[in-house]
Structure 1
């Protein structure tokens, strides 16, 4: 699925695709609900391609896919005078923090008239990993309205990250200096650790997930250097305060749409107790909490059919 449209926002060229379903004659795009897929880190919208494709074929929803600023096909950033401050204490240009991602997501929804404001229909949002925090900030702080929210293996409870994640945050300059081969081996190890069955990655998944962070590794070393910098940046700029703000103000209990949670029972990135903690804080907004067997953090890779069923059943109820 090609992200063939661009939303320019604060120096970033955010690539997205708004796809219409297979529909009967006479029906218009606005006759359909919209499902918005928001990926996590260090992924891109490719994680949702199979589910999005099946949903489009089902003919019930339009689909919005996009790559977060700094990820996938949205790594293009042009610093302009009014955004000089975007170069923060981590010495990276361009903001990829959860705080900024939530702002950009909210603005993208408004740009496409999907924010649930001014008479526009609110979308169904499906968010994986860090996108859960992004979607919740967009909803609770920026006022974006959702018809429903489906959270997959999402990290919205502190502390964030494992030992590797914390090490990159504390020493980003070291990881910028890794030789190409060592960097690639590290990246692939990170990807494999997100699955329960790494054999599932052999069906081109590993290459699709690694490609944005390895672009031009043989033919254009300067592009590889920029891709490596982008990978390190999105970890280095992770800021606990972006989630702490919502936790300290007990904001999760204020979610105004129905919520469903999915979690892979073998997720080594997000412990079950964190998902259960989020579940308790959501209160009555939480309608379902489903544990997916034989699945790791990338549940849509480990158990694509089961995850598709859970997504479709949820959306069909709305």
Structure 2
């Protein structure tokens, strides 16, 4: 298979940090709404291309590679913790001059989006959260091992690092992931800077930074829906219902059957159609 590509990025500066951003517009018609997509780890905006193209038939879609990910990887020793990323999301939305966009977020992108909303004052028209990292517990034994031995992992021979990355990515899916997608998702991490960035971002992620968000979930002030792969090997679907119960009602949980953590890749059409339905409803509210 051929993995669809993003357009060339537009690079913007946020407090001295260069961020790769992308925009997809409907062809020859007005946009129904503005949609901002937030990726997770160890992913990038590239994972969202198929869904973004479905949405861009009707909506103006904005994507970004968080610093330390995708085409925003650099040799700089950047802070890539969740607090900094949520502040950057607020700044990127301000740069785009978006007033109350609809936000779609996956994995740690969910913590970034919720943090921007609850702790940085960003107003959203709606939130659609997909297999997000927010509730405890999160962070695997592998995360803890990297945190304790970041320099050793960053110095692995490239071929061993590549094998680790490919296995790690493939293990997120609920079923076998096409090798073209494994190649695409691994690509940013296979350069020398990417290898260092991969272990840096793991070492800087911590549940300490999501607990203040969890404490404020009752303050979510926009319509919210949750989508989850019912075979997610990383974050069990029980967390979807726990999260829904913590956010002011009503919050529906959409289950994607026989799907793992990578819903945008594993269930592209189903997620794209559900998002279009959700956004149509959000535009009427």
User: TM-score of the superposition, structure 2-length normalised?
Assistant: 0.93
Q: How many Å apart are 1:77 and its aligned residue?
A: 5.8
Query: After TM superposition, which residue ranges in structure 1, 4 or more long, deviate above 3 angstroms?
Result: none
* Pick aligned residue for 2:149 from 166, 171, 177: 171
SS of the equivalent of 2:252 reads strand
Partner of 1:10: 15
Map 1:1-318 → 2, pairs under 5 A: 1-24=6-29, 27=30, 32-56=32-56, 58=57, 60-76=58-74, 93-114=77-98, 121-198=99-176, 200-202=177-179, 204-214=180-190, 224-247=191-214, 250-284=215-249, 286-318=250-282
Give, in whole Å, the separation in 2 of the partners of 1:305 and 1:4.
Answer: 25
Give, in whole Å, the separation in 2 of the partners of 1:3 and 1:270.
Answer: 32
Give, in whole Å, the separation in 1 of the partners of 2:210 and 2:163.
Answer: 31
SS of the equivalent of 2:74 reads coil
Give, in whole Å, the separation in 1 of the partners of 2:247 and 2:150.
Answer: 34
Q: How many Å apart are 1:126 and its aligned residue?
A: 0.4
Query: Which of 238-247 and 146-155 deviates more?
Result: 238-247
Deviations along 1:103-160, whole A, 9 cap, x unmatched?
Answer: 000001011111xxxxxx3111000000000000100011111100000000111222
Q: How many Å apart are 1:18 and its aligned residue?
A: 2.2
Aligned residues: 277
> Which ranges of structure 2 fall in alignment gaps of 5 or more residues?
1-5
Give, in whole Å, the separation in 2 of the partners of 1:268 and 1:3.
Answer: 33
1:13/1:75 contact within 8 Å kept: no
User: TM-score of the superposition, structure 1-length normalised?
Assistant: 0.84
1:129/1:155 contact within 8 Å kept: yes
Deviations along 1:9-64, whole A, 9 cap, x unmatched?
Answer: 2332101012221133xx4xxx64101111000000011101111222x2x21010
SS of the equivalent of 1:73 reads helix
Q: How many Å apart are 1:72 and its aligned residue?
A: 0.3
Give, in whole Å, the separation in 1 of the partners of 2:150 and 2:247.
Answer: 34
Q: How many Å apart are 1:191 and its aligned residue?
A: 0.5
Deviations along 1:81-106, whole A, 9 cap, x unmatched?
Answer: xxxxxxxxxxxx21111110000000
Higher relative contact order (CA 8 A, sep 6+): 2
Deviations along 1:237-288, whole A, 9 cap, x unmatched?
Answer: 01222111223xx30010000111011011011112322221111131x431
Give, in whole Å, the separation in 1 of the partners of 2:106 and 2:151.
Answer: 28
1:12/1:75 contact within 8 Å kept: no
Give, in whole Å, the separation in 2 of the partners of 1:51 and 1:314.
Answer: 14
> Which ranges of structure 1 fall in alignment gaps of 5 or more residues?
79-92, 115-120, 215-223
1:150/1:261 contact within 8 Å kept: yes
1:294/1:303 contact within 8 Å kept: no
2:229/2:255 contact within 8 Å kept: yes
Q: How many Å apart are 1:167 and its aligned residue?
A: 1.4
